[in-house]
Structure 1
């Protein structure tokens, strides 16, 4: 444990020197004996956590990967906390999804016993035509990208309410207003209604969505508009967090 603590002190000290630092300076600043500092620095260089150039030590690739991983986890935690707050304040399960590399990705879902999420009984990636998340993401793409997606994941009926074919879906998407919530009623799952709100994250299509049992359908649009208002108030502080 002592060696780990000393190694961490060295890493933190190196990180504070953007232009590198020699072993003697690092030993002095960390309060380590020079032989101990040399031994730990050699080990950290060997493991890729540090690199040495012209007698100076810098953070290595392994340390930078750790930093990126930690930052990504922090961003994910921020998104999860925000979705949980909206779940509790609005009283609905909340979903966050993106369209990335030609695929629908549900990044985070926040639900509870009182507000359960929709069961993913058919792969969300392959059934974007049938749920509000997918329809909202596809509505943000251009015509060519939509047709490319549907060529890979063509429309297929999931319930009696599912859109019938690719052309019918494309016509519906073309009519969708740029910032309007997208609503589907029992198209993905009988007994469930959903709404999704479009979000702009740079050039990436993204959305936050909600779902409700069909007997609470009258709550859907008011809840979606409330979510949209919350997103508008907090998007500035969330922009970096949701780009994950």
Structure 2
């Protein structure tokens, strides 16, 4: 089922407001969305009324409804104080930023990290459209059966992000077999040439725990990082609610 154009455009406007570090004037939103100023006012009106967005003299900002949505999101994905503590423990032990990712509804997303807001973070919280090139994406795709994995790849493909990205389907399947055998995935410069990530699956098979660090600091640390992640995964992160 296709998304109604007005809904799609309203969500584009909401995301534009969320991306900005300062209030966004309606004229700026109209230019970014390629629509009339009257369309911006028309689409933003319901978002303001529901509290998802506020309109200030300087422009639009996120509204008071957003924190409640984020709290619900954290609850649905099993993010609590124990999870937060686990990520920061991994960060301390590995000396690298830690991430929690999930596979749900046909999408792979980073749902929390110790790097939020850090400059140069290669894996921002949100839907990961290049998951095939990440360690956490490989772990989550490896846990799918072949039919479900083919469905995911048919939709998202294997686009080349760097010269190291695996774009051949047969090579990618071979890579996932290695991941299932080893219980750990590694991506060296496949998303960003400057970064390497290592990931392990959590017990529910629908989430992954990972770290990322500059590739220049990765040499000789694969075993160490895998052990840190595996110990954290065995210790247990609370299961996400369905």
TM-score range normalised by the length of the shorter chain: 0.5 to 0.7
Aligned structure 1 segments of 4 or more residues deviating by more than 4 angstroms: 68-71
Q: Please say if 1:181 is aligned against 2:189.
A: no
Choose the corresponding residue for 2:113, options 102, 109, 119: 109
CA distance in 2, matches of 1:71, 1:138: 22
Q: 1:103 to 1:70 in 2, by over 3 A?
A: closer
Instruction: Report the counterpart of residue 167 of structure 2 in structure 1.
Output: 164
CA RMSD, aligned part only?
Answer: 3.2
Choose the corresponding residue for 1:223, options 222, 225, 228: 225
Instruction: Tell me the SS of whatever aligns to 2:122.
Output: coil
Task: Trace 1:20-39 onto structure 2 (pairs within 5 A).
Answer: none
What TM-score results when the alignment is normalised by the length of structure 1? 0.61
Q: Which blocks of at least 5 consecutive residues in structure 1 are unaligned?
A: 1-64
Task: Trace 1:80-229 onto structure 2 (pairs within 5 A).
Answer: 80-111=84-115, 118-120=121-123, 125-178=128-181, 180-201=183-204, 204-217=205-218, 218-229=220-231
Q: Is the 8 A contact 1:99 1:205 kept in 2?
A: yes
Instruction: Report the counterpart of residue 45 of structure 2 in structure 1.
Output: none
What TM-score results when the alignment is normalised by the length of structure 2? 0.61
CA-to-partner distance for each residue in 1:91-123, whole Å, 9 max, x for gaps? 11100011111110211111389x9773248x8
CA distance in 1, matches of 2:113, 2:132: 19
Q: 1:151 to 1:226 in 2, by over 3 A?
A: same
Q: 1:83 to 1:101 in 2, by over 3 A?
A: same
CA distance in 2, matches of 1:71, 1:210: 20
Q: How many aligned residue pairs are there?
A: 171
Q: Which blocks of at least 5 consecutive residues in structure 2 are unaligned?
A: 1-67
Q: 1:71 to 1:152 in 2, by over 3 A?
A: closer
Please state how far the C-alpha of 1:223 moved relative to its aligned partner: 1.6
Instruction: Tell me the SS of whatever aligns to 1:239.
Output: coil
**Quick check: which has more Rg, 1 or 2?**
1
Instruction: Tell me the SS of whatever aligns to 1:88.
Output: helix
* Greater CA drift, 68-77 or 149-158: 68-77
